[in-house]
Structure 1
Amino acid sequence: MQVNQKRRALTLAGVAGALASSGLFTACTSTKPVTGGDTFGPGIAGGELPPPAPREFRAAWVSTVANIDWPSKPNLKSDRQQAEAIAILDRAKALNLNAIVLQVRPAADAIYPSPIEPWSEYLTGLQGAAPAPYYDPLDFWVTQAHLRGLELHAWFNPYRARQNGARSPAAPNHISRTKPAAVKTYGKYLWMDPGEEAAVQQTLDVVLDVVRRYDIDGVHIDDYFYPYPIEAGNTAATGAEGAALEGKGGRGELDFPDDASWQRYLAGGGRLDRAGWRRQNVNKLIRALYEGIHREKSWVRFGISPFGVGRPDRRPHGINGFSQYDKLYADAETWLQNGWLDYFSPQLYWPIRQPAQAYGTLLDYWLAQNSQGRHLWPGLYTSRIGAPSKEYAPQEIIEQIALTRTRPRADGHVHFSMAALMQNRKGIADQLRAATYAVPALIPATPWLGRETPGTPSVAAVRKGDTVLLKLAAGKANATYAIWSRYAGQWRFATAPASRVDWSVPSDAKHGLPDAVFVSAVDRLGNESARIQAWKRA
Structure 2
Amino acid sequence: MHIKISPSALLLAIAVLFTSCGTPKKPKTAAKKPVVTTKPVTPKVPEPKVEVLKLNLPEVNREFRAAWVATVANINWPSRNNLSTEQQKVEALKILDLLKNANFNAVIFQARPSADAMYNSTIEPWSYFLTGEIGKAPTPYYDPLEFWILEAHKRGMELHVWLNPYRAHHTTGGAITSESLVKKMPEQIIKLKNGMHWMDPSDEKTQDHVSKVINDLVKRYDIDAVHIDDYFYPYREYNGGKDFPDNRTWNMYQKTGGNLSKADWRRANVNKFIKRIHDEIKAEKSYVQFGISPFGIWKPGFPEGIKGSSQYDELYADAKLWLNEGWLDYFSPQLYWKNDGPQSFPALLKWWESENSQKRHLYPGINTVGLNGVSDRPAEIVSQINTTRSVLKDAAGTIHYSVDGLSKTPAMLSAVSQAYKTPALVPLTPWIKTEPLEKPLLYIEKSGTSAVAKWNSKDFTEVFQWILYAKYGDVWETQIIEKSRISETLPLIKNGKKLNTVAVKSVDRLGNESAYDGKIIK
Cα distance 1:171–1:456, how it changes in 2: closer, same or farther (>3 A)?
farther
Residues 399 and 442 of structure 1: is their aligned pair in 2 closer, same or farther, counting only changes over 3 Å? Answer: same
Are 2:81 and 2:128, in contact at CA under 8 Å, matched by a contact in 1? yes
Distance 1:431 1:231, change over 3 A: closer
- Is residue 109–residue 120 contact of structure 1 (8 Å, CA) maintained in 2? yes
Tell me which residue corresponds to 1:431: 415
Match of 1:362?
348
Answer yes or no: is the 8 Å Cα contact 1:60–1:99 preserved in 2.
yes
* TM-score, normalising length: structure 1: 0.83
The 5 Å alignment of 1:483-494 reads 483-494=468-479
Among 375, 398, 412, the alignment partner of 1:413 is 398
Give the alignment partner of residue 480 of structure 1, picking from 465, 468, 471.
465
TM-score, normalised on structure 2?
0.85
| RCO higher in structure (CA 8 A, sep ≥6) | 1
Q: Which residue type is aligned with residue 82 of structure 1?
A: K
Q: Tell me which amino acid in the other structure corresponds to 1:403.
A: T
Can you give the 5+ residue segments of structure 2 that lack an aligned partner in the other structure? Answer: 1-53
Q: What residue in structure 1 maps to residue 182 of structure 2?
A: 176
Note if 1:64 corresponds to 2:50: no
Q: Is the 8 A contact 1:194 1:281 kept in 2?
A: yes
* Helix, strand or coil at the partner of 2:269: helix
Change (3 A) 1:274 1:337: same
Are 1:334 and 2:321 counterparts?
yes
Could you list the per-position Cα deviations for residues 14-47 of structure 1 after superposition, in whole angstroms to 9, with x for gaps in the alignment? xxxxxxxxxxxxxxxxxxxxxxxxxxxxxxxxx9
Preserved contact between residue 450 and residue 525 of structure 1 (Cα < 8 Å): no
**C-alpha distance after superposition, 1:334-354 (max 9, x if no partner):** 000111000001111011122
Specify the structure having the higher radius of gyration (Cα).
2
Q: CA 1:470 to 1:529, structure 2 compared with 1: closer, same or farther past 3 Å?
A: same
* Helix, strand or coil at the partner of 2:337: coil
Q: Secondary structure at the match of 1:494?
A: strand
Contact preservation (8 Å) 1:452, 1:527? no
- Matches of 1:506 and 1:112 in 2, distance apart? 45
Change in Cα spacing, 1:231 to 1:293, as seen in structure 2 (3 Å) is closer
Letter of the structure 2 residue corresponding to residue 406 of structure 1: S
Alpha-carbon distance between aligned partners in 2 of 1:466 and 1:271, rounded to the nearest angstrom: 79
Please show how residues 69-468 of structure 1 align to structure 2 within 5 Å: 69-166=76-173, 168-187=174-193, 188-230=195-237, 234=240, 253-312=241-300, 315-354=302-341, 356-384=342-370, 392-408=376-392, 410-423=395-408, 425-434=409-418, 436-468=419-451
Match 1:471 to one of 433, 454, 465: 454
Deviation, 1:312, is: 3.6
Q: Distance in 1 between matches of 2:231 and 2:450?
A: 51
| CA deviation map 1:74-116 (0-9, x unaligned) | 1100001001111111111111110000000000001001110
Moved more, 172-181 or 316-325: 172-181
Task: Specify the code of the residue in structure 1 equivalent to 2:383.
Answer: E
Q: Distance in 2 between matches of 1:267 and 1:537?
A: 78
Determine the structure 2 residue equivalent to 1:52.
59
Q: 1:508 to 1:165 in 2, by over 3 A?
A: farther
CA distance in 2, matches of 1:470, 1:416: 39
SS of corresponding position for 2:431: helix
What amino acid is aligned across from residue 459 of structure 1 in structure 2?
L
Q: Following TM superposition, by how much is the alpha carbon of 1:304 offset from its aligned partner in structure 2, in angstroms? A: 0.3
Q: Deviations over 1:92-145 (max 9, x none)?
A: 111111000000000000100111001111111111111111100000000111
Give the distance between the partners of 1:272 and 1:161, measured in 2 at CA: 27
- The question of whether the paired residues in 2 share the 8 Å contact of 1:59 and 1:98 is answered with yes
| Aligned-partner SS, 2:346 | helix
Write the distance in 2 (CA, Å) between the matches of 1:391 and 1:263. 51
Question: Percentage identity across aligned positions?
Answer: 44
Distance in 2 (alpha carbons) for counterparts of 1:131 and 1:338: 41
CA positional deviation for 1:466: 4.2
Structure 1 residues 105 and 231, CA, compared in 2 at 3 Å: closer, same or farther?
closer
